[in-house]
Each structure stands twice: as C-alpha cells, then as structure tokens.
Structure 1
Amino acid sequence: MADDKYTADGELLARQFELHRSHLRSVAYRMLGSSSDADDALQETWLRLSRSDTDDVVNLAGWLTTVVSRVCLDMLRSRGSRREIALDEHEHPDLHDDDRGTAPESQAVLADSVGVAMLVVLDTLDPAERLAFVLHDMFAVPFDEIAPIVDRTPAAARQLASRARRRVRGASATEPADQQRRNQVVDAFLAASREGRFGDLLALLDPAVVLRADDVAVATAKAAVGSGAPALESELRGPRAVAGAFSGKARHARPVLIDGMPGAAWAPGGTPRSVFVFTVEDGMVTEIEVIVDPATLEGLDVVFVD
C-alpha cells in the first residue's frame, strides 16, 4: 500500500511538472541561450522537485521558476568565459514560445525580441544581471522574488535588471539618427533644467514618466535637506513631480553615454559621482534613473560625449 501511495504521488508530481514544462523551458532557454543547456536545466529542476517535500508549497509554478532560475544561474557562473552561440539557433522554435505578453507592457517589445542578436547581448551580461533582466522583463517576476535568487536586496535586483536593460537597448540602438535624436532630447532637458524652464521640462516628459533613485541618492539628498537642497524620493511619477525635481538643477551635469544610453553625469575631476540615465521613446523622456551608489557607478560604462 505504501509503495502504491509513493507511486501515485510520483505520478502526480510528474504530471504537475509537465504542466509547467513549457514555461520552465522557455525561462531556461532565455537564460542560457542553448537548447541542450535548457534541457539539462530542466532535468536538474525535475530531480530537485522529486527529492523535495512540496506539501507546503502553495504556488508550485513560482517554486519551480525559482528552482530553474537558480540552476541556470549556477550554470551561467560555471561557464566562466563567454560562450559562442550556434548559428542555427536563430531558427529554434523556442524563440517563438507562446509566453509573450507575460512581461509588463512597457517592456514587451524589448523582452520579445529574443533572436540571435538578443542572445549575443545577453551573453555579455553578468549572470546575475541576465537573470534579473530575463525574469523581470520577460516573465514579470517581481523583484521581491528575484532578490533572494541573486542574493541581493530588491532594490539591488532592480539595479541589475536596469543595467542589463540599458545594455540591451544600447546594443539595439543601431541607427545613428535615432541615437542623435535621443541625445538631442536629453540635451534639451538638461538645458531646461539648468535654466529653470519648468514648462519646457513638462513638454519633454512623457505623461507616464517615472524617476527612480537608488538608496544612496535618496540618503544623500536627505542629508543635504538642511542646507536647502530638496528631498529626493526613491520613485516619482508624473511630469510635474519629475520636472519639479529637476527644475533649476543639473547646472554641473555633463552629457554622457551610460552603457550606450543617453544620460548626464556630475563628475568633478572627471570621475562620475552621480549619473542620470534617460530612457527616450518617440522624442519623450519616459524614465530617468539616478545612480549615486559607488559600487554601481564603478560597474557602469560612462563615456563623455562633449
């Protein structure tokens, strides 16, 4: 009787795993860029599932996504050096899985562009960056769930995904004219900021614009409040709030490219101490990221363009 129960439980577990196989393989393929590696990751995930007590697992799909992500992260780290992508992988059916639309709408176009070019760019990312980007932008996994997988705080996991996103977007910005237009928008924004032209700032901001600042930026701004400096929040939404944060500021900011994306930097002595990364779409600023954390700044590719 006990053997029958064990067999029944194993068959039930196998059926549950099969229900999620397509999603898990899609995650693994986007993480690893290789069909054979994705199959290996799925096999290891199944082995871990079969050895685990999942009676108290409420969300098996989430649990399995976490497990396959950890397996893929270990595999990426074990590669050591960059792996070349096989030329015939661009025709692999995994690139056209029907899991599109699971990412947030604002990231859908970028996240669904998973061809050879995307895989090549992803292959240049740090394993933790790649995992954060793939899970969040392609599969809408919250940063609270990504954080323990990469042993970071949710805020740090967001930074990993942001850096990966900038690199992917920077690599895909192949049209010089498009890059020039984005740079012109940022230049106009900085000029309006310095001169306190609030109306011009509003005109350059998308209605859904969001400003995000890292913890060090927020703490630095709070420490300076006593000297008359304005407070800074970790997230501001809407044109008026974002324009208010910049109006009359940025007097010493210099235009730069940050991981290929247009931005600005305060760089006394030529060393960036704080940077502002701008996302520009259709001639409007849709997102600004303020980075002051020295550890994050050290990993950025900052190129002065003036």
Structure 2
Amino acid sequence: MSDEQGYDALGARLKEFEGRPAAVAGTGKDPVNAPMIRHWCEAMGDTNPAYTGPEAIAPPAMLQAWTMAGLSGHQDRTGAYDELLGLLDASGCTAVVATDCEQEYLRPLRPGDEVAFDTVIEEVSGRKTTKLGTGYFVTTRTDVRVGGEPAGTHRFRILKYAPAPRPPAAPQRSAEPGKPGALRPRPVVNRDNAGFWEGVAAHRLLIQRCTGCGTLRHPWLPGCNACGGLDWDTVEASGEGTVHSYVVMHHPHFPAFTESGTGPDGSDGGAGADGPYAVGLIELAEGVRMVSNVVGVPYDKVRVGLPVRLVFRRYDAELTLPVFRAVDR
C-alpha cells in the first residue's frame, strides 16, 4: 500500500471518531474561585475592576481553565480521544501543536460556581500538508454548564502531524567578518509588534498608549489590557529606568548571546565571549517594564534598584537591540 493510500485509509478511520464523546459529565476540579481569578489577572496584566470585589465575575477567557485536568487527569474521559491520538501516533503523526481555539460565552461565571462539562470530538480534517509536516487537524468542543444551565462553549484545535524532514543546517555565519561565533537569533516580528521594531531600527523605544484610557503597555498588544480598547498611539520612552528584577545566565554558554555588541560610543556589552551575563526586568520611568540585557557593569554588581539608561547596541550588520547600561550613582 502506498503512502497516499495509507493516508486515505487512515483518514476514513479518523472520520469515524467525529461525534464521539471525549468526556461525559465531567466536573471541574475546583469551583470558580477568587485566588485563581487573581492569579490569572496578574499573569495577564488585566486590571478590570469587574474581576475583584464581592460582585466579582471570572474573566470570560478563563472558561477553559475551570475544565482543565491538570497533571492527574480527569476521570470522565471516555477513551475515544486517546484512541484517536493512538491511531495518529501509529501512523507516524507523533508531533502535535495547538493551532487555535474559539470560545462562546453564555453567562458569567462567579466564585462558588461548580462547573460541569461534556466534550465531543467535533471534527477531524482530511490530510493536510503544512510547513511543519503532514497530518490532521482535530477539533474538540467542550460545552460548559453551571447548575445545568449552559455557561459557554470552548472549541480547541490541534494539528497532529508527521514532522517534515529538516534540511541540512546551513553553516553559521560569524557575527562580525573574520570573527568566530554565531549570529544572535532574530526577533519575531509580526503585525502586532512591527511598529516597535521599526522604532528600534530608528533608535527610538516606542511604548503603546491606549487612546481611550491613556494606559501605557509593553510588550505591544493588539488591545488595551485596562479598558479593552483597540485604538492606540505611541510615546517615546525617555530611556531612564531601574532594574526591577534580574537573573544571571551562567550555563550553558551560547556564543550568540554572550559575545559583545557595540554601542554608539564603540563600547562593549560588558560580557566576555563565555559570559556570565545579566538579564534584567527593567522598569522604565514611564511605568512599564521590559526584559533586556544589563550592560556596562560586571554581572555580579547588578542589583535590584540599579539605575540604568537605554542604549541601542549593534550585534551584527542586520541586528540592533535596545539594552540598558548601568548609570553611576
């Protein structure tokens, strides 16, 4: 049987799983509760007052959190989902990546609510070829209830695939002509943060500002985490800041990260080719924080509260990054 026929036969078997339950009469491991809401809001930077106080509701996007199984798993699984994944594993589709989710909110969840849910295997796609490899998209739908009343629906989609063969690795280029070492990894630039990197290229550190409520935010996001507004402009950071927290990287040694770049004054980055080097969470004078290297001071002299100032450091012909140089008191 050819690979093509094998995939056709597998696809037909996988389609038989559509509509089968993956979990029946599942229950959340914990009631909706204020501590989990607080942790979520702190992690997301969401300060909406609706999520605090005696009349608090849970952030709607937490819908899935109340149904998650944790490390010990759920006892309400039917086995159909595991059987489906087993067939894919046996066919060589051993890798998995979550691709997207969709949520519908029908009523707010409040502390004390006991969550119940059912999960069904809603759809298995035909064979798809992606840059990652060839495989199948599997969509599950979870219907969430409280006291028998529908509360929301969560659809979750994964790609289960056979990894595509990797091309031979290209020889690494030197960071500087005639010098050994690997290029520093490139930042991921997308439609949400392109403006930030355009600013960096022009030696400007731009911070997003919500035009609705005036809240500053970093890293760049498509919407305001304070009021939810989608309209924004930018302000240019003064470059003044302090070290809010930091770590010192000792091992392993990655030459691309430990080799010094050069600043406008030709000075180095304060770390040798073997490190260690300090990575700081910098609180800017404007009130937002960002992660970057702390340079111009030995790594063991970095301290919380250390005043720093922005410099733009050139690491190679194509890459300039904002870093923070220690300022003498």
TM range, smaller chain: under 0.3
TM-score scaled to structure 1, two decimals? 0.25
Instruction: Normalising by structure 2, report the TM-score.
Output: 0.24
Q: Which of the two has higher C-alpha Rg?
A: 2
